[in-house]
Amino acid sequence: MLFILSALVFSLFIGLNEDLLSRGFFYGILEKYGMWTAVIASSVQFGLLHLTNFYFGGQSFDYTAGQMVNASAFGFLCCALMIFTGSIWVPIVFHGLSDFPLMMQSEVAFKAQVTGGADWFGTLVEAGLMIVVALVLITWRRNVLGDRAFIVLRKFDLVD
């Protein structure tokens, strides 16, 4: 039980650190150039942040390249969650919970995964789905359907 709790706390801190840097700092600085510039640039920065896993994490370059593509799309989705909810805490928790299953893998399984090649078909499909969901969230934020959704979300204290 202590292992599970430790893994969960560690995962949440990964979300906190990476999202405060990418969505809090980089997005915040770039927002003056427009929302789309900030979303795209901070998402690419988030993807590139994962290049360190090749240099310092023992990952293969192919796996790391796939991870960077996936992380860029994930960053795009996290930006959309932040824009949609008006809170950086939603993507922080979402990110932490997304990393949690990785913490539950055995060291042997994790090493085998990250030292192999990328599943490019799966990576591109997953990245595409994240981008589509992100675009829907950003669009909903800016139209009447979004206003109606916000009424429901506010009722349950899920957004500001």
List the single range of 77-86, 96-105, 140-149, 151-160 with lowest mean pLDDT: 140-149
> Does residue 160 fall inside a structural domain?
no
Question: Average pLDDT, stretch 52-65?
Answer: 94
Which of 4-18, 81-95, 120-134 reaches the highest mean pLDDT? 120-134
158 in Cβ contact with 85 (< 8 Å): yes
> Does residue 34 fall inside a structural domain?
yes
> Does residue 145 fall inside a structural domain?
yes
Give me the DSSP letters along 43-82.
Answer: HHHHHHHTTHHHHHS---HHHHHHHHHHHHHHHHHHHHHH
- Which amino acid type is present at position 119? D
Structure confidence at residue 140 as a pLDDT band (50, 70, 90): confident
Percent helix, percent strand, percent coil in the chain, to nearest 5: 85, 0, 15
> Does residue 33 fall inside a structural domain?
yes
Q: Can you give the pLDDT at residue 91?
A: 95
Structure confidence at residue 139 as a pLDDT band (50, 70, 90): confident
Structure confidence at residue 149 as a pLDDT band (50, 70, 90): low
Read off the pLDDT of residues 107-117 as tens digits, 9 standing for 90 and up. Answer: 888 888 888 89
CA distance 142 to 152: 16
> Does residue 36 fall inside a structural domain?
yes
Q: Can you give the pLDDT at residue 142?
A: 60
Question: Average pLDDT, stretch 59-82?
Answer: 96
Looking at the 3D structure of the chain, how many domains does it have? 1
> Does residue 7 fall inside a structural domain?
yes
> Does residue 120 fall inside a structural domain?
yes
| Mean per-residue pLDDT of the chain | 90
CA distance 105 to 99: 11
The whole domain housing 150 covers 2-155
Q: If we measure between CA atoms, which residue out of 105, 87, 96 comes closest to residue 157?
A: 87
Q: Can you give the pLDDT at residue 113?
A: 85
2 against 41, higher pLDDT: 41
> Does residue 91 fall inside a structural domain?
yes
For residue 142, the SS3 value is: coil
Rounded percentage of the chain residues whose pLDDT exceeds 70: 93
